[in-house]
A and B are shown apart, each in its own frame.
Chain A
Amino acid sequence: MDSVYVIGRDAVPSYLRLDAGESLRMTLVVPEGESCRLALEVDLDGPGASLDLAGASMSTGTEQVDIRVTVRHNVPGCRSEQLFKSVAGGSAKVSFDGLVYVASGSVHTVAHQQNHSLLLSEGAVCESRPQLEIYADDVECSHGATTGYLNPEELFYMRSRGIPEEQARSMQVEAFLSPIYNRIDNDR
């Protein structure tokens, strides 16, 4: 079961706790025009607890989007997956702070965190601060962050087939966000 939270429509919980064997799939969507400060803390407190968290933001004006996520692996054998994708244009400012904390003794932890940003203008800013704090051995943890602009080679290729420039741009933006949108569609 996925819980989809659309910022501006739904209240997002600030704290979640998962017990042994519980799993949660959650998707956050920050639509165009919405500014927000989100802080979410998750405690994985029982073995086998599993969190699958994803988020997408689309900000093309003067929005300020600030997302902070803290995931604590407090016991052995829990899993957390995080994927956040941001599109920023105009003079929008998007920041993502993600902390994954693995407590001492939380062996066999699996934690992956990805944050990718697409900039549509010179004036937009995306900041990404992924952090791993690991105090246990025998864990599988990774994080990755990328920031880039639309690919001019792709744009030209699409235009050379007759797709107008504006449409080619929006197709690329859609493609960038598709991993998040697809999971929402699949759950419906």
Chain B
Amino acid sequence: MSDILLEIENLHAGIEGREILRGVDLRIRRGEVHAIMGPNGAGKSTLSAVLAGRPDYRVSAGIVRYDGRDLLEMAPEERSWAGIFLSFQYPVEIPGVSITNFMKAALNARRKAAGLPELTPAEYLKLLKEKMAFVQMKGEFAKREVNVGFSGGEKKRNEIFQMAMIEPTLSILDETDSGLDVDALRIVADGVNRLRSPQTASIVITHYQRLLEYIVPDVVHVLKNGRIVATGGAELVQQIETQGYDSIDG
């Protein structure tokens, strides 16, 4: 097992003929948490969309290797099976599908891909209860339709709940802090921190430093105009906080 989990070289990508990422380089090792900060329109969400395999985004150049595999060749579900998880900035509502059935389908599809038998109903129920407690969700939660009528905070907690159910190797949190009050932020950050391990890695995408007070990153990158223009440690977060993104050349 290689130490390097994700390697991005000279990635160019965009949507609807518009190039948004213009040569991104990034290397993430197992056990690390990387923060990607940047102003609006820098390409943060494009990067997460490309890593998760959103069909409407086009990669025009570059290489992405994940765990030794060519990530860009893989379908979104194959990426999930390989351990990639995206916490959506705007989680999608799925009317008519309960959280219970959604997660059961997801977990069993993943187990099938790994050559494992389906979970028994008892095993599944136990896991469901355990992970709901993890994000402080109550009993009725699992019966609700996925994200339908959820508040902003509930949607984000549901993302972390799914992350806890799936136990990914590489988690990408796309602006998970946006629209959260302090209590919800703490629950979400707590969830992420408890899933940290020497085998896994996370990318925390955010506009503000607030989340990074709760999830302390090992490496901080600044994404501007589709490129990573600065890489450092906590001091970068401080610099952005006090002097803004304009203080970083790009």
Query: What is the chain A residue whose CB lies nearest that of B79?
Result: A160
Per the bound structure, the CA–CA distance linking A159 and B75 in Å amounts to 8
Contact, CB under 8 Å: A158 / B113: no
Contact check, A164 vs B77: say whether CB atoms are below 8 A apart.
yes
Q: How far is the CB of B131 from chain A (nearest CB, A)?
A: 14
* Interface Cβ pair total, 8 Å cutoff: 73
Contact of B80 among A151, A160, A167 (CB under 8 A): A160
Chain B contacts to A: CB under 8 angstroms = 52-56, 75-77, 79-81, 85-86, 88, 91-97, 101-103, 105-107, 109-110, 113, 162, 166
A158 and B162 CA atoms in complex are apart in Å by: 11
Contacts A152-B55, A156-B55, A175-B97 given: A161-B92 contact, CB under 8 Å? no
Instruction: Please measure, in the bound complex, the distance between the C-alpha atom of A49 and the C-alpha atom of B88, giving whole angstroms.
Output: 49
Knowing A160-B86, A162-B110, A162-B113 touch, does A174 contact B77 (C-beta < 8 A)?
A: no
Asked if A153 lies at the interface with its beta carbon under 8 angstroms from chain B, I say yes
Query: If A159-B77, A162-B80, A162-B166 touch, does A167 touch B96 (CB 8 Å cutoff)?
Result: no
CB-CB nearest in chain A for B147: A157
Q: What are 13 A-B contacts defined by CB distance under 8 Å?
A: A154-B94, A156-B54, A157-B88, A157-B91, A157-B92, A157-B94, A158-B105, A160-B88, A161-B80, A162-B110, A165-B75, A174-B96, A175-B96
Q: How far, in angstroms, from A121 to B136 measured CA to CA in the complex? A: 42
Task: Report if A36 contacts B (CB, 8 A).
Answer: no
Chain B residues within 8 Å of A174, by CB: 96
* Residue A176 CB within 8 A of the other chain: yes
Pair A163/B55 contact, Cβ less than 8 Å: no
Question: Chain A 159-185, CB within 8 Å of chain B: the 1/0 string?
Answer: 111111101000110111011000000
Select the residue from A151, A158, A165, A172 with max chain B CB neighbours within 10 A. A158
Given contacts A152-B55, A175-B97, contact A162 B92 (CB under 8 A): no
Q: Whole-angstrom distance between the alpha carbons of A176 and B97 in the complex?
A: 9
**CB of A39, distance to nearest CB on chain B (Å):** 30
**CB–CB B106/A176 < 8 A:** no
Q: Is the Cβ of B96 less than 8 Å from the Cβ of A176? A: yes
Whether A171 contacts B86 in the complex (CB less than 8 A), given A161-B80, A164-B109, comes out as no
Complex Cα spacing A151 to B97, Å: 13
A160-B96 contact in complex given A152-B55, A167-B109, C-beta closer than 8 Å: no
Bound-complex Cα distance A163 to B53 (A): 14
**How many whole Å from B2's CB to the nearest CB in chain A?**
23
The docked-state distance in angstroms from the alpha carbon of A109 to that of B148 is 32
Q: How far is the CB of B105 from chain A (nearest CB, A)?
A: 5
Q: Tell me which residues across on chain A come within 8 A of B103, comparing CB atoms.
A: 161
